[in-house]
Structure 1
Amino acid sequence: MTRGLVSVVIPCYNQGRYLEETVRSVLASTYRPLELLLINDGSTDDSLESARLLEKKYPEVRVIDQPNSGVARARNTGIRAAKGEFVLPLDGDDTISDAYIGEAVAVLQQQPEVKVVYCQAVKFSETGQKAWKLKPFSLRALARDNMIFVSALVRKSDALAVGGFSEDMRMGREDWEFWIKMLKTGGDVVQLPFVGFYYRLSPGSKRKRTGTRQKKRERIAYLNQKHADFFLQELNGPLRFQRSWSRRYNTLLRWLGVL
């Protein structure tokens, strides 16, 4: 079977100190052919300079510079520019194992019904690392929470078919909404049985900035507005602030004739 080109889309905003480590982890992959698209999202540190040096050093690397527009738009810029059949989003401070891409591509090529392939993961920092305990995937579980990190392999055509990442979702977890709109109309998901993704924990990470109660309320309102059909199907009504209780609460309200 012909090996399809994989485009690794790496948005970078002020992550210059980690960028080479991220790039090296991709280039260590046992899989070829690869291209790496480094999207500098208006960084104010040395990210663009670091990216240009990597572009000169490695023929697989291509740099795109854009004004600061947010990670969703940066990823979309990379997806649109990608020449590959397959796309792997990877943030500019995270890393992957050498086997991840090859194993994921094999699944996508052998199983056309599969839309998303991810793996087991580890969270790490300067003080050490710990396993990232991801809940098993199902559509009903996805309606309540996200268990697929952004760095999963997909076909470029599938990413474009749903319009990429929603650029107006600025309250965080845009990867959750991306998986909802990609999978709610069908398609299988496969998790590879090994650790292939390493998520860097840092004090100023976006995940921490968007973890407030207010951001959670904004996020739930956004998701309910865009995917009411999906939540009705899986949760019998809208996603609630206490997400794990959503289906029970909606079912009770329907029984009472309130919903």
Structure 2
Amino acid sequence: MKSVLVSVVIPCYNQGKYLEETVQSVLASSYRPLEVLLVNDGSIDNSLEVALSLQRKHEELTVIDQANGGVAKARNMGIRAAKGEIILPLDGDDKISADYIAAAVGLLREQSEVKVVYCKAVKFSEAGQKPWKLKPFSLAALARDNMIFVAALFRKTDAEAVGGFSEDMHMGREDWEFWIKMLKNGGKVVQLPFVGFYYRMTPDSKRKKTGTGRKKRERIDYLNKKHADFFQRELNGPLRIQRTWSREYNNLLRWVGKI
């Protein structure tokens, strides 16, 4: 079977400090053919300079420069430009293992019903690293929380079919919404049994910025408006602020005639 091109899309905003390490982890992959699309999202540090320097050294790397529009817009820009059949989004300060892409591509090519392949992961910082305890995937679990980090592999056609990442979702966790719309109407998800993804924790990590109570409420309101059918099916009503108890709370309200 002929190998397919994989496009690794790296959005970057002010991550010049880590960008070369991220790119080198991709280029060290055992899988070929690869293309790396580095989308500079209006960075005000030296990210573009670093990206262009890397482009001069590595023919597999292409730099796209855009005005700042947010990570969803940057990912979509890279996906649109991608020539590969399979996409791997990777943020500009994270890393992957050398065997991750090859194992994921094998599954996607062998099993047409598989839509998304991810792996086990660790979080790391200058202080060290620790396992990222991801919950097992199911649609019912996905309705309550996201357990698939953004650096998973999927077919470009499946991303195009759902309109890519939602560029109007500015309150964080846009990858959660992306997986909901890609998977809610079917498709198998596989987690590889090894650590293939390394998520960098920094003082200004996006997960920290989007973890406030206000952002959570905005996010839940957005998801309920956009995917009411999904939450109705999986939770018997809308997603609640206390997400874990959403189905139980909705069932109680139905029992007392409140919804």
Instruction: Note whether the superposition's TM-score is higher than 0.5.
Output: yes
Query: 1:69 aligned to 2:101?
Result: no
How many Å apart are 1:106 and its aligned residue?
0.1
Whole-Å separation in 1 of the counterparts to 2:3 and 2:256: 56
Moved >2 Å (runs of 4+) = none
Identity %: 76
3-state DSSP class of the match of 1:107? helix
Whole-Å separation in 2 of the counterparts to 1:59 and 1:44: 25
Whole-Å separation in 1 of the counterparts to 2:112 and 2:137: 19
Taking structure 1 as the reference length, the TM-score comes to 1.00
Equivalent pairs, count: 259
3-state DSSP class of the match of 1:103? helix
Task: Identify the residue that residue 252 of structure 1 maps to in structure 2.
Answer: 252
3-state DSSP class of the match of 1:122? strand
Whole-Å separation in 2 of the counterparts to 1:215 and 1:258: 27
How many Å apart are 1:257 and its aligned residue?
1.3
Query: 1:95 aligned to 2:95?
Result: yes
How many Å apart are 1:258 and its aligned residue?
1.0
Please give the per-residue CA displacement for 1:139-182, whole angstroms capped at 9, x wherever unaligned. 00000000000000000000111000000000000000000000
Whole-Å separation in 1 of the counterparts to 2:108 and 2:81: 21
Tell me, which stretches of 5 or more residues in structure 2 are unaligned?
none
Task: Identify the residue that residue 24 of structure 1 maps to in structure 2.
Answer: 24
Amino acid at match of 1:253: L
Please give the per-residue CA displacement for 1:199-220, whole angstroms capped at 9, x wherever unaligned. 0000011111110000000000
Taking structure 2 as the reference length, the TM-score comes to 1.00
Please give the per-residue CA displacement for 1:17-37, whole angstroms capped at 9, x wherever unaligned. 111000000000000000000
Tell me, which stretches of 5 or more residues in structure 1 are unaligned?
none
Q: State how 1:147-166 maps to structure 2 within 5 Å.
A: 147-166=147-166
Q: State how 1:220-259 maps to structure 2 within 5 Å.
A: 220-259=220-259
Query: 1:212 aligned to 2:234?
Result: no
RMSD over aligned CA atoms reads: 0.4
Whole-Å separation in 1 of the counterparts to 2:106 and 2:16: 32
Please give the per-residue CA displacement for 1:112-155, whole angstroms capped at 9, x wherever unaligned. 00000000000000010000000000000000000000000000
Whole-Å separation in 1 of the counterparts to 2:173 and 2:137: 17
